[in-house]
Amino acid sequence: MSLEGKTVLVTGGTGSFGQKFTEIVLAKYRLKKLIIMSRDELKQSEMQARLRDERIRFFLGDVRDKDRLKYAFRDVDIVIHAAALKQVPMLEYNPFEAVKTNIMGAANVIEAAIDCEVKQVVALSTDKAVNPINIYGATKLCAEKLFVDGNSYAAGRPTRLSVVRYGNVIGSRGSVIPIFRKQAAEGMLEITDKRMTRFWLTLTKGVEFVIQCISLMKGGEIFVPKIPSMRIVDLAKALAPDCQVKNIGIRPGEKLHEVLLTEDEARHSAAFDEFFVVKPEHPFWKSHYQEWTHGKPLPNGFRYSSDQNEDWLTAKQLLAMAEGE
């Protein structure tokens, strides 16, 4: 489905993704309406003053409130579900709040979308959802399962639900890059482990990939982009080559390496030039996936992890990506 002439709603729309999504789609597409839904009135006010586009509507609301979602989703064609609590240390200390927003909020979005007959819903996920070891990853894994299996609740209704799963976003709030830049001014960068690796992509690439997936989705897929990796110590040296680096040890809930596609998922996945598709395993959905048969099957034991990636960022490439955002 093209975005042309459509009404699109973004939950968590005042976040990093929502703001970049708004910037891109308003410049490239003739939307009928773009609804920014979030619970932060200050950020909405600032965003409204900056953009001043007649196609934008701002809705105050929380994904924990299903009734409010049902009002917001009326006559909406496409929902991008970007709302989430995602700060790992904070959520380790406040796990019930993570469940209320990331799991129950996801369920509310699904039910409201089905009731309002929203045609397409794409949920944003993260590599932290794969083999999770912290509450954030565990809640996002559960949200993924809800969005994949939630298609069965749509029954004869037109709603279809899919997931986009990707890695760390350069320039997003909470990213290590702003933290490193602040520490660089003090002459000392703190890293948790010199062996650590992460997947990286820009906000722009993340938004463009989500838009691409809207046009491709049938319902039930998990889309995974092919993106580069970088060692955290190399990232630190690229951002502040003259600073000392201090190893402070891995924090609770933190991994050495991240995974975007597991060996078990690879058995029912297909590789394309720029992304992977994890297809749902339910037999009654197989008739919808004929077009995915031209993808390349993955070899036995395939695992897409940040330490075994074939694509690695250089310092120059990372700096160019960071400056571009």
Q: Measured at the alpha carbon of residue 80, what is the angle toward residues 319 and 100, in degrees to the nearest 5?
A: 100
- Extract the tokens encoding 306: 């940040």
d(CA 69, CA 118): 12
What residues form DSSP beta bridges with 70? none
Catalytic annotation, residues: 128
What is the 3-class SS of the chain, one letter each residue? CCCCCCEEEEECCCCHHHHHHHHHHHHHCCCCEEEEEECCHHHHHHHHHHHCCCCEEEEECCCCCHHHHHHHCCCCCEEEECCCCCCHHHHHHCHHHHHHHHHHHHHHHHHHHHHCCCCEEEEEEEHHHCCCCCHHHHHHHHHHHHHHHCHHHHCCCCCEEEEEEECEEECCCCCHHHHHHHHHCCCEEEECCCCCEEEEEEHHHHHHHHHHHHHHCCCCCEEEECCCEEEHHHHHHHHCCCCEEEECCCCCCCCCCCEEECHHHHCCEEECCCEEEECCCCHHHHHHHHHHHHCEECCCCCCEECCCCCCECCHHHHHHHHHHC
- Cα–Cα distance between 104 and 64 in angstroms, integer? 7
Considering Cα of 319, then 320, then 323, then 325, what sign does the dihedral take? negative
